[in-house]
Amino acid sequence: MMFLKYFLLILKSLSLIKASHYESEAIAQAMCDVIELTHKNENWVLDLIIFGQETNELKDIASELFKKLFRTKPMLNKIVPINKDNLVLLKSAIILMRAKDLFRFNFITKIDNIQKENLNFYIYLQGSGVSIEGIEIFNTKNGHVGHYEYFFNKIGRKFLGVYEMIWFYDEICSSPEILEINQINLVTKKWEKDFSLLKRKFTNFYGCPLIFGHIKNTLHYHYKRNFSGKIVHFGIIPMLIDALSKIANYSYGFVTFEAYENLNETKVQAKLDIYDIFICQSVMHDENKAIDASIIDTIDIIFIITPGELYTIYEKLFFPFDELTWILLCLTFIVSFCVILILKFFKKIFRNLFYGNETTTPTLNVVSIFFGISLTIIPTRNIPRFKMILFVGFCLIFRTCYQSKLFEFMTSEMRRPEIQTIDELFEKNYTVYSDNMQRRTLESIKNWQSKRIKYLPHDSIKSSLSIFKLLKDFNLILEKQAIITSSITHLQYEKYFETKFKVLKEPLVTSGVVLSMGINNFYSHEFYKLLSKLMPSGIPYHFTKMHKEIYFKLVNEKEEKEPKVLTLDDLDFGFFIWFPFIGISIIVFILELIIFKLTKKKKRFRKMKFAKVHPMVIDENQANENLKL
């Protein structure tokens, strides 16, 4: 009987080992497919870096991954535990990190001296299955977020299925159903269908247009108290910082909120000066707190910024030309009206020479020609008519360019410039929405004491999805006057208020560890230089740039370009044709003026000569008639 029990126990252990091997192989296959789909036709020299204890499970996944990834050409397979000092990255690296029930699968590439952005995939071991959490999607219609995940769930003991789940907080786009993409047979070790992880259902989520996607940066730093009451920090972030500190030769310390609860800002800053780098993110009892004396932070903050109000139709009337063109156009009309006014004080013969004998309303003619209105009185003399034709050509060039550009501006949605600084947010009276646990932090910041701050229950801001659900409930998208923050510790410094930050046209969620260090600190440059190779920085535009480049071809989104404003350089060709005629008209006008002067002088000379011959003629009219005879 005992022998039978031992025999059954041995069989059970063998089956568990076999099942564990199949599971590791399936996870490695999933990783391999993700890498091959995102990085095709590239020759890599890879390191495999394992942070944490080298378990058999990690080794099995690593060995299976390299077998599948390098089928034809064997590459360097190097396992670097965290407790060693020789953390050296080659051209590329695969990082497997194990913290509690979480794998972090980070694939980093640097090929031909071109630094590519990191791709992060988080593999969770949850209960009976595993899952890869991937991408968050933003909807262009109303800014609501959709969460997009890949689930690798075990179906019995034979299959590992690949599913995709999509959530949208929108009635039109919502789809709670889980779609099966594919499944792998653990017996045959093959996928049942062609694997298309990133392409399926990505360009069109049930008719909902997309802006971009970014991979969620999940929090990996926690701390807790042990039995003796001492705070113990654990997770991937402390491992990374500890490993990098041995290379960059910097000191680091963990800062918790409650440790400096009764200290003022000066004393807190004095304590912070002990270390070169501080880890200020702390998660305890589902509370996320940070101190208010940090210098440079990467923070968890959401800017809900309006893209800018639409310009009105009347404002668009002045858009086709730039300021200099409008100024020169106004100067042209001012000069023409001044010339007409000055000629009022000259003799009639000069006025007739300039704009014709028949023209009685020259100012009205100028306005009519500019707006393309028909003229009732046209000069009969050649020179005034020629000048009028030149002015018609001048106005025709401007009017044609103006009307064509005005049509483009009127048919396009143009918005006012977006807010670029935090000072502008305060000037526009934006409301700050924060969770209740940040009340003490925000109230300690001088610049925020007089601002509008509304505190929400902490339970409402547990994840990005609940935040955007909260936004819909509070109608903040319609109000477009909100900032939601969970840690806004660095805004008390005036120098930050003057600097510009990147504002997205839609909300963006980032999360991660808060790292604080000096501004011109040598360690900060070295730290970020190394850390940027291993994890995202947590800054919003970093995610935007990184994942727009990765998924832009899949989303197929075309950015709308605003119409170009016409400048004098654009009008050069029209004026190049028009200016020679102006020169010719001026020369002809000068010649006509000279001829007029000579003719008038000749008539006066003949009159004086006739008076000498006929001195008895007193009547001037009679003298003129005799002169004609």
List, edge to edge, every strand of the sheet that includes 252-254. Answer: 252-254, 277-279, 515-516
Q: Determine how many CB atoms are found less than 10 A away from the CB of residue 552.
A: 13
What integer is the mean pLDDT of 100-121? 37
The pLDDT of 176-192, averaged and rounded, is 51
- 7-33 pLDDT per residue, tens: 334 333 333 334 455 556 666 665 665
Q: Phi/psi at 11 (nearest 5 deg)? A: -60, -40
Q: Which of 242, 235, 244, 239 is nearest to 87 (CA)?
A: 244
Max mean pLDDT range (55-59, 171-175, 395-399): 395-399
Task: Determine the Cα–Cα distance for residues 442 and 434; give it in Å rounded to an integer.
Answer: 9
pLDDT at res. 103: 44
Per-residue burial over 336-365, b = 16 or more CB atoms within 10 Å of its CB, e = otherwise: beeebeebeeeeeeebbbbbbeebeebeeb
423 falls in which pLDDT band (50, 70, 90)?
low
Q: What is the dihedral of CA 577, 583, 585, 588, to 10 degrees?
A: -140
CA distances from 432 to 439, 445, 514, 551 (A): 11, 13, 20, 32
What share of the chain in percent tops pLDDT 70? 18
For residue 541, give the nearest of 420, 423, 424 by alpha carbon: 420
Instruction: Give the highest mean pLDDT range of 44-53, 147-156, 553-562, 596-605.
Output: 596-605
Tokens, residue 304: 């809900």
Beta strands in 173-215 (DSSP E): 178-185, 190-191, 210-215
Report strand pairing: 119-126 vs 102-111: antiparallel
Least confident of 51-60, 282-291, 315-324, 366-375: 282-291
Query: Is pLDDT above 80 for 401?
Result: yes
Inter-residue contact 475 to 181 (CB < 8 Å): no
Reported as a pLDDT band with limits 50, 70 and 90, residue 464 is very low
Mean local confidence (pLDDT), 146-175: 41
Q: What is the reported pTM?
A: 0.35
Distances (CA, A) of 260 to 3, 126, 279, 293, 297: 63, 36, 14, 10, 18
The pLDDT assigned to 110 comes to 33
Of all residues in the chain, the percent with pLDDT exceeding 90 is: 0
Domain coordinates of the chain in residue numbers? 22-98, 583-629
Q: What is the pLDDT of residues 224-243, one digit of tens each?
A: 555 566 666 654 445 545 65
363: pLDDT strictly greater than 70: yes
Nearest C-alpha neighbor of 324 from the set 529, 156, 33, 570: 570
Q: Which comes out higher in pLDDT, residue 458 or 558?
A: 458
| Helix, strand and coil percent figures for the chain, each rounded to 5 | 45, 20, 35
Residues sharing a CB contact under 8 Å with residue 27, sequence separation 6 or more, in sequence order: 61, 64, 123, 130, 152
Tell me how far apart the alpha carbons of residues 115 and 492 are, in angstroms, rounded to a whole number. Answer: 34
Q: In Å, what is the CA distance from 70 to each residue of 31, 66, 107?
A: 13, 6, 15
Ranked by mean pLDDT, the top range of 120-134, 340-354, 446-460, 554-568 is 340-354
Q: Give the pLDDT mean for 417-434.
A: 62
Quick: pLDDT tens for 111-125: 233 233 333 333 333
User: What does the chain come to in residues?
Assistant: 629
pLDDT the model gives residue 325: 83
